[in-house]
Amino acid sequence: MRKQIFVSGLVLFFMILATVLVILYGKGYRFDFNKGTATIAGTGLLVATSNPDGAQVFVNGHLTTATDNTINLNPGTYDVKIVKEGYLPWEKTLVIKNEVVTKADALLFPTAPQLESITNLGALNPVMDPSHTKIAYTVASQSATKNGVYILDTTARPILTLQSSSSQIANDTVNTFSKAKLQWSPDGSELLATIPGTTSNTTYLLQTNGFNQNPQDVTETMASVNAEWNLQKQDKEKALTNALPASLKNIVLSDFQVIDWSPDQTKILYVASESANIPYIIKPRLIGTDSTPEVRNIEKGGIYVYDIKEDRNYKILSSLPDEQNLDIYSPSPLMWFPDSKHLIYDHSKKVDIMEYDAQNETTIYAGPFIDHYVFPWSDGSRVVILTDLGNPYTSPNLYTIDLK
């Protein structure tokens, strides 16, 4: 009987020990033999992933593993670099903490991206809709029936070429829509087309779901159209801000001039309308969040991203490079990438993509293009630019930069 009790106790002891060791191992604890004796030392976990996968992971300059893998590291600060042949490198300084999982999620861009034309009839004044899925533009280089307003649907799946993704919604037989400045409605179902005249402008309301045989002249009723659209914008913004915690909602309303919400609505790209301090909303602070240093003291005119889920705030720019780009007819030099983790930033005659914490700013294109006419493709596989490829004797066209 005593022997059975002893054996049962021994089995129970080893089961408990094995359970404890499994738990410690899962939390990142490992045996350390560096000091001549075996001790259990706490570590952190680094999860390295990349798109595309199969990239090499360098830690402090040493090839350590490949992506889609998890490695244990002692607590500390590390330079992590992810490299794949044919792609621009990804590099970031990460803080590894005991028992905490830290992610290195690298979106890699090709070193030699391909350009493909979307239009061949010329394209002018393109503007993207609020959902970031459609681009409206005008054509002025053809006949009256071919000139006018076109819409490119980036969610379409063309059978042959991307050029078949565009459809015409108005031509020049009623008025010179090829000269119009375009403005999307807040819900993306309508366009205002303002055509300059010798003494005054004429504005039409265009439906975007088909060709407009009889465009509606709203020149004399613009006040009511603007009032309705402003109400739509306010309702949409109100719905988003009302979903925020009360303390954060007050800060957004008083100190943020929202440029755009991320596609998944978890982050806010904004201009600081006032200098202020953003108090901590989530207490205690979350573990395993982005280890990039944040900025809680915002300065008026600065550009920031606030992460709602992690309650962290990052400075992107000291100011917009050109204030006129906040004009309703002009694209912003900063736009959300469809994955909600990156921003497109066009400046100094180049197109960059950076992470939402302003890290890993990568130049994906530095060839000729018309400033600020840069748009993301809806699935993130491409970026659209407006360019004449440096030839002043040809009309500019829309081209895609392939990011895969």
DSSP, res 87 = B
Residue 150, pLDDT above cutoff 70: yes
Neighbours of 77 (CB within 10 A): 10
Residue 198, pLDDT above cutoff 70: yes
pLDDT at 26: 52
Top pLDDT among 1 and 248 is at 248
Residue 11, pLDDT above cutoff 70: no
Burial of 271 (0-12, 13-18, 19+ CB in 10 A): buried
Instruction: Pinpoint the alpha helices (H) of 274-362.
Output: none
Least confident of 1-5, 89-93, 270-274, 348-352: 1-5
Instruction: List, in order of start, the domains of the chain with CATH numbers.
Output: 1-41 (no CATH), 43-108 (2.60.40.1120), 115-237+367-402 (no CATH)
DSSP, res 120 = S
pLDDT at 323: 47
pLDDT at 39: 46
pLDDT at 5: 66
Residue 307, pLDDT above cutoff 50: yes
On average, the pLDDT of the chain sits at 89
The amino acid present at 172, given as its one-letter code, is D
Which strand ranges, in their side-by-side order, compose the sheet holding 62-66?
62-66, 56-59, 76-83, 90-96
Report the alpha-carbon distance of residue 243 to residue 259 in Å, rounded. Answer: 18
What pTM did the predictor assign?
A: 0.86
- Asked if 344 contacts 335 with a C-beta cutoff of 8 angstroms, the reply is yes
89-115 burial, b for 16+ CB within 10 Å, e for fewer? bbbbebebbebbebbbbbbbbbeebee
Q: Which residues contact 323 (CB under 8 A, 6 or more apart)?
A: none
Least confident of 212-216, 221-225, 326-330: 326-330
pLDDT at 3: 61
C-alpha torsion 209→210→214→216, nearest 10: 20
Question: Length of the chain in residues, anyone?
Answer: 404
Per-residue model confidence as pLDDT tens digits over 316-342: 999 876 544 555 555 678 999 999 999
Q: How confident is the model at residue 33 (pLDDT cuts 50, 70, 90)?
A: very low
CA 54 to chain centre: 24
Top pLDDT among 140 and 157 is at 140
The DSSP element (H or E) to which 152 belongs, if any, is strand 148-153
Top pLDDT among 372 and 70 is at 70
Q: Is 106 left (phi over 0), alpha (psi -120 to 50) or beta?
A: beta
